[in-house]
Amino acid sequence: MKSLALSLILVFSSTVYASWKPLLVQNNGFLYYHEEKCKGLSANIAINDIQVHGKIIYLTTSQHGIFKNNGGDSYWENITPASAYTRTIHSPCNQYRSISAFCVDGYDPTRMYCATKYTLYTSGDAGKRWEVIPLAGLPANACITALYAKGGQLVVGTSWNGIYRHTANRFVAVNGGLPRKMYSDSIGFYETIAHVSGGSPVRAATHFTPQVYSYGASGWKMVFAGNGGHYYGCSLYEGGWAIVDGDKLVVNNNGTFVYQELSPKNFCCAVLTDGTHYIFVKAAKTRNDSIRGLYAATPTSWQAIKKCVGYAKRSGCNALVFDIKDDYGNVYGINNETAGVIGALQSSLPLHELCNYCHANGIQVIGRMVVFKDKHLFNGFKHTYAIVDAATKKAWQGNPKEYWVDPYSEFVHRYTIAIAQQAQDAGFDEIQFDYVRFPTDGPVNRCVFTFKPDNGIYKYEAITDFLRTAKASLAVPVSADVYGFTVWYEFGQWLGQDIEAMTGIVDVLCPMVYPSHYGRKFFNGKITSEGYYTIVRESISRAYINSKATVRPYLQAFNMLSPGWGYDYIQKQIQACTDTGTQGYIFWNAGRDYEIIINKNK
């Protein structure tokens, strides 16, 4: 796992309010407390949150669980629930699931709660023993991102379903007044809830967009709205709150607002304190490369390949993406026994000659492999590896043109990885996995996964298990294509793509941020030049918050539901990349026609 490298330090403003100073800081992977390195913590620990309750400090992480420090002691005790370990299909993975939320009861400090996104735990003895709380009333696939407890009150914040209160052993929505970003006429999403608090009034704060809400008789009311940036963090407490707004710390102390400048230096995250209250602040790290590519489809025609190389040179691109295993499971240029048995082998140019030609022209070669959408494997072996339809007991098919195989199948994993290894041996510089997810269209409620192990595995863990095995089997960089919308909210238990988990494995994340593929109601339906610029910019910015890998977005080079289509449409997307500090990107056009990115008159 890659440790963060961006730093945070305070430049104090002259105010009457006490300055907030660092209590704990993380630098180059190590956590420092009173300038001493903390014992019991891994050097590459990725911190999700740090909370201070009295003299006790609690630290939650991405892969190492929950740690407790008794204040003044340099040793950290791991108090993670024993059953919160990562589930796998292949060999065991020696790590915990990410701790997405944690809180200590405001009345009883021995009572605490934690969540691993889709499972909620409670402990009544300060973390020695934990038990699971049923999620009755929460929407299916809701990801828990915030917790608050005081006495008999338990409040849960989620990634895109809003806020819920636990009442009579059931969760009840309390979303009145919270703004909802509409995706279509019937689908909408609440902004991710980062913090919730009790007291009078009850408050909530959002994640990417720094907003604070107060709850009253008429529901939620926004009391502060700021601007997102490279830093994020919030603390809600009796009498006020503190939140990061751009490069400032905004403090509301009983209605008096104070602003304190933040300036980057050497810390990736820190706990700041004014002596009474605490806030955990984290910095998003811009990780990108200089790969600027074009999708070049199947490697079957020298004429088409030479034309794509010409496009690349004229547009300043330095990479081409070729299908090695396409959307139907057709396999090109690889002599694989299983592919031959199921009729997947297709005629192709010699892959080593293709790679040599591109390299001679200064072009890197990326091999695209569609993973779990595969018509040949779906039909092969008497539908053994197809998803099963619970209603018909036959092979499941949602969209009539799509053929999905079981993402839990080890055979499917090994088959794909074997082809990837041969592509690597032929000279490809990178292997890129696409459709590395579960199906989302059609009656997905009828999907039966016959290869799913009976160990409580999350959907995203099946995907990351495949990626982990693939990464260990390949010497070249590995990239993964994801829905553009997965960088906005947590969909790991819906379609199986979890940005935090995936980027802890792969080298490059490729969110497909095509403006045409976002709902018509998105950004209030303003799919204009400013609208599609904003979609690309915000999608990339959100990707940087959770990604541990390089972010290299796919951009739209095809005319589909695209008002204002033309050269400017392309340039607005590139500008969005530039404005987020993103150097690398790949253009997609299924027909390999890239005149639009070169010719202003097209």
Is 0.85 surpassed by the pTM of this model?
A: yes
> Quick check: is 235 in a domain?
yes
Q: Are residues 384 and 269 in the same domain?
A: no
Give the residue-averaged pLDDT of 348-369: 98
Per-residue model confidence (pLDDT) at position 13: 31
Per-residue model confidence (pLDDT) at position 15: 35
Write out pLDDT tens, residues 364-411.
Answer: 999 999 999 999 999 999 999 999 999 999 999 998 889 999 999 999
Per-residue model confidence (pLDDT) at position 43: 72
Write out pLDDT tens, residues 311-346.
Answer: 999 999 999 999 999 999 999 999 999 999 999 999
> Quick check: is 306 in a domain?
no
**263, 283, 303 - which closes a domain:** 283
Q: Are residues 277 and 144 in the same domain?
A: yes
Per-residue model confidence (pLDDT) at position 526: 58
Q: Are residues 101 and 221 in the same domain?
A: yes
Average per-residue pLDDT in the chain? 90
10 pLDDT tier (thresholds 50, 70, 90)? very low
> Quick check: is 189 in a domain?
yes
Beta strands (DSSP E) in 405-477 are 430-434, 447-448
pLDDT exceeds cutoff 50 at 571: yes
Q: Are residues 179 and 275 in the same domain?
A: yes
Q: Which residues of 397-424 are buried (b: 16+ CB within 10 A; e: fewer)?
A: bbeeebbbbbbbbeebbbbbbebbbbbb
Per-residue model confidence (pLDDT) at position 70: 87
**249, 268, 283 - which closes a domain:** 283
Q: What percent of the chain is predicted at pLDDT more than 70?
A: 93
> Beta-carbon neighbour count of residue 574 at 10 Å?
17
Q: What is the CATH number of the domain that holds 467?
A: 3.20.20.80
Q: Which residues of 237-255 are buried (b: 16+ CB within 10 A; e: fewer)?
A: eeebbbbbbeebbbbbbee
Q: What is the CATH number of the domain that holds 267?
A: 2.120.10.30
What Cα–Cα distance (Å) separates residue 551 from each residue in 45, 46, 187, 387, 475?
21, 18, 27, 31, 20
> Quick check: is 548 in a domain?
yes
Q: Are residues 335 and 256 in the same domain?
A: no
Give the residue-averaged pLDDT of 103-128: 97
Cis-peptide, bond into residue 201, ω within 30° of zero: yes
> Quick check: is 523 in a domain?
yes
Residue with more model confidence, 273 or 477: 477
Q: Are residues 453 and 549 in the same domain?
A: yes
What phi and psi, each to the nearest 5 degrees, are found at residue 534? -65, -40
DSSP string, 481-550: EEEGGGGTS-BTTTTSB-HHHHTTT-SEEEEE--GGGS-TTGGGG--SHHHHHHHHHHHHHHHHHH-SSE
Distance CA 597, CA 585 (A): 13
Q: Are residues 329 and 269 in the same domain?
A: no
Give the residue-averaged pLDDT of 32-37: 66
pLDDT exceeds cutoff 50 at 12: no
Q: Are residues 437 and 503 in the same domain?
A: yes
Q: Are residues 260 and 385 in the same domain?
A: no
Residue of 572, 460, 588 lying closest to 512 (CA atoms): 588
pLDDT exceeds cutoff 70 at 237: yes
Angle ∠(321,296,348) on CA atoms, nearest 5? 95
> Which residues 6+ apart lie within 8 Å of 157 measured at CB?
101, 144, 145, 146, 147, 163, 192, 193, 194, 195, 196, 204
Q: Are residues 248 and 329 in the same domain?
A: no
CA neighbours within 13 Å on the CB side: how many for 306?
3
Map residue 318 onto helix, strand or coil: coil
14 pLDDT tier (thresholds 50, 70, 90)? very low
300 pLDDT tier (thresholds 50, 70, 90)? very high
Distance CA 85, CA 98 (A): 9
Write out pLDDT tens, residues 174-212.
Answer: 999 999 988 888 888 999 999 999 777 889 999 888 999
Q: Are residues 258 and 336 in the same domain?
A: no
Distance CA 337, CA 341 (A): 6
The whole domain housing 255 covers 9-283
> Beta-carbon neighbour count of residue 98 at 10 Å?
23
Contact in structure between 404 and 378 (CB atoms under 8 Å): yes
pLDDT exceeds cutoff 80 at 519: no
Per-residue model confidence (pLDDT) at position 67: 94
> Quick check: is 364 in a domain?
no
Q: Are residues 331 and 247 in the same domain?
A: no
Q: What single-letter amino acid sits at 276? A: T
Q: What percent of the chain is predicted at pLDDT more than 90?
A: 71
Distance CA 457, CA 440 (A): 19
Q: How far apart are the first and last CA of the chain?
A: 45
> Quick check: is 231 in a domain?
yes
Contact in structure between 120 and 77 (CB atoms under 8 Å): no
> Quick check: is 464 in a domain?
yes
Tokens found for residue 198: 């009790």
Total domains in the chain come to 2
pLDDT exceeds cutoff 50 at 428: yes
